[in-house]
Structure 1
């Protein structure tokens, strides 16, 4: 059991390999978010794109969209399924009975059929709303109910009062549609989709048993959809092959396909909303703790901790789990608190916000392709994972990032890591490293939007 009674998924194997399996599985239970409150990143990343600030689009209900395209959508989704089966070696095929049909139905039936066909949480209503930045008040009569946006009771990094209702036909900024959509995958799209999650949809979807993560935590079941471990050592893959059962590539490709389809069918609102969904997973892979299982921990150390655990010496494993979990939480809390404060203070010169607007590296990912996920995006964040992990230790109190007494609570709204920093030199180094991550996130966000935007063709 993890501290607080949380049980991790630990595949049962014999010998030293089983020890490694147990340790690797134990390191993955707690934090399934990537960057906290994705719109904070997306608004800045898109602010420097020519014309984006002024572009408007007419909001469209999901039922209206699906009713118009229901006859043409099945072939598109069939083509996407064919691509996934042929391209992704650990992909779990979609059961045939989930195929989206062209039958006419009311909005609820169309939405349910669509959600089942793309295998996301069928409790998502996909209502019309936009999220507003920190410091921008939404009038009480314009508030969009949190329960209509998310299947989760609460989200620690998003103020429920920041959601503004939109009516079908309203003109909204494209930048706000995209930014709002980049948060939706963390509102529950990928919650409870596995066979052992206790939900009816999980029993139907064919993904099988959850490969890693903690199904008892509110975000734990989405972990394999938001993490991509493509750059581990051979020994890790030999002993923990289940780590390769991850789905960011499938999600990115699916939502980019849907975005292109929506644009081509004359539904630009949904073209931009699907684009935002794709961007979410791309941004997640810029988070080092989402692309490396154990930043700063060698395979040899993993083996040794696993051996000790199997011999009954559980302390090293428990301590290691808490350390990695807490560092992940600290990094996200630092990013979220600092960026939120900058928005409220209208400090657009904060280094993290400036880095998101920095286009100097855009040429390195001018044209986004499927191969970019592994070869560029996750590879770059994986390469700096160890350095960032070590800097967290030098920057923040040992009680948060070294001591192994208790896990930090990612849902603790009173936790403010920014106020607990170390001396100025370490603060500056931490700022540079996180700004570098934000620079990548800004570049990658623009790369996805650029390749999907019908008006950007040929630029």
Structure 2
């Protein structure tokens, strides 16, 4: 049984989409415009990364060492940072590029990470006067348009004053720009083999976007039989990234670098927000362990159809959920009229119903909630979306998504179906907003400077 289940889970996890919400920045703007500590915070001066690193080299070395020790204690599958990658503050004497490289490799993120000075403007605001910034100056990944919305970047000058809300929201989308690519022993990169993470636990090591998945998904609440058969599912590291970037944010705020306080907080937010997506906190929402075993048993007997169908169905449902949310939030921005998603993101009524921010909040509150909602969300999609999109394994929604007006398609099914799906997405986005604000409250509460 273990061999059967391992084969099924490897197939399933290897084909799971690596992206969660399509454009985190658009949702983060709405989530934080209702939080005065962010929306009304004084503008901050944009600061190059190298300037922050040079000013705080010694505290950074101490922080990164402490974070490595924390991860060894709190993340069971965490591989310790190799000695050769430890951050040495003396590297500052070698110049800004050497300092930057030492910092990125000590974090064990891609050395191709841009960390440009930029913002992704709020589409609700007046169009920025600055010229567009080329995509490849911000992202190490090619431009993608699976959600139909694209991304719009504008450059900041060093010293330019910028609203914290813009810094925070923009950075919340940034980890999808290549920061977690090719970090594995079997990655086709110059850096991955030396990072010490071992071979990729799931996903295709030769597909760039797939290699980031173990840092953006957290399978913390599967049935014991799943872990008995497939311990590799425990090798996911969103909690590592959250701890790293939240700690850097706190350091930046405490030492008089508020731009990087907000920027690092936004990076930490990304991983928390990913885990509000049920398909990032559950391996196979709507499929029981027994059903997984049965499906793979058929495959081992020479009948792989059910397993292949399951993979396509899960991928389609994942993309449908995100496509609908993306279309809704973009339509609201274009019309300058709030829809149910915008209202849910701004809604602070549930913020205090969750525990106070702590190191276990992401695992025991965010991921647990999303995992629990997975079967219900799946049932509601099946009840409201055209069966061809969510219950037909012969149709690959990801391939055709750009050409599909999903909002119009669901509306054509009837008002009741539309309300079911929009209520489902509103629930998820209300959680997205509440958990995001609670994280930032926790970061700000730990610092003396706001």
TM-score (norm 2): 0.94
For residues 44-101 of structure 1, give each alpha carbon's deviation from its aligned partner in whole angstroms, at most 9, with x where no partner exists. Answer: 1111112532321110000111111112211110000000001111111111101111
The 1:285–1:408 alpha-carbon spacing in structure 2 relative to 1, beyond 3 Å, is same
Contact 1:39 1:183 in 2 (8 A): yes
Matches of 1:217 and 1:419 in 2, distance apart?
33
For residues 14-42 of structure 1, give each alpha carbon's deviation from its aligned partner in whole angstroms, at most 9, with x where no partner exists. Answer: xx222211212222224111111001111
Q: Return the offset for 1:213.
A: 2.1
Contact 1:121 1:193 in 2 (8 A): yes
Matches of 2:376 and 2:401 in 1, distance apart?
27
Q: Return the offset for 1:373.
A: 1.3
1:402 aligns with 2:391: yes
Q: Return the offset for 1:411.
A: 8.5
Report the equivalent of 2:3: 18
The 1:214–1:393 alpha-carbon spacing in structure 2 relative to 1, beyond 3 Å, is farther
Q: Return the offset for 1:401.
A: 0.9
Matches of 2:404 and 2:182 in 1, distance apart?
27
Report the equivalent of 1:387: 376
Q: Return the offset for 1:263.
A: 1.1
The 1:158–1:146 alpha-carbon spacing in structure 2 relative to 1, beyond 3 Å, is farther
Report the equivalent of 1:451: 442
Q: How many pairs align? A: 443
SS in 2 for 1:286: coil
SS in 2 for 1:312: coil
Report the equivalent of 1:5: none
**1:225 aligned residue (212, 215, 220):** 215
Report the equivalent of 1:153: 142
Matches of 1:99 and 1:288 in 2, distance apart?
35
Contact 2:388 2:395 in 1 (8 A): no
SS in 1 for 2:398: coil
Report the equivalent of 1:295: 285
Q: Return the offset for 1:456.
A: 8.2
Contact 1:136 1:162 in 2 (8 A): no
Q: Return the offset for 1:250.
A: 0.8
Mapping of 1:40-79 within 5 angstroms?
Answer: 40-55=26-41, 56-79=43-66
Matches of 1:432 and 1:458 in 2, distance apart?
38
TM-score (norm 1): 0.92
Contact 1:137 1:162 in 2 (8 A): no
Report the equivalent of 1:310: 300
Report the equivalent of 1:352: 341
1:214 aligns with 2:204: yes
Report the equivalent of 1:437: 428
Report the equivalent of 1:322: 312
Contact 2:269 2:436 in 1 (8 A): yes
For residues 388-419 of structure 1, give each alpha carbon's deviation from its aligned partner in whole angstroms, at most 9, with x where no partner exists. Answer: 01111121122211111142226853333222
Q: Return the offset for 1:376.
A: 0.9
The 1:147–1:136 alpha-carbon spacing in structure 2 relative to 1, beyond 3 Å, is farther
Matches of 2:117 and 2:36 in 1, distance apart?
26
Contact 2:182 2:208 in 1 (8 A): no
Root-mean-square deviation (CA, aligned residues, Å) is 2.0
Matches of 1:296 and 1:158 in 2, distance apart?
28
For residues 345-369 of structure 1, give each alpha carbon's deviation from its aligned partner in whole angstroms, at most 9, with x where no partner exists. Answer: 1112x11110111111111236211
Report the equivalent of 1:126: 115
**2:238 aligned residue (234, 248, 251):** 248
**1:376 aligned residue (365, 375, 390):** 365
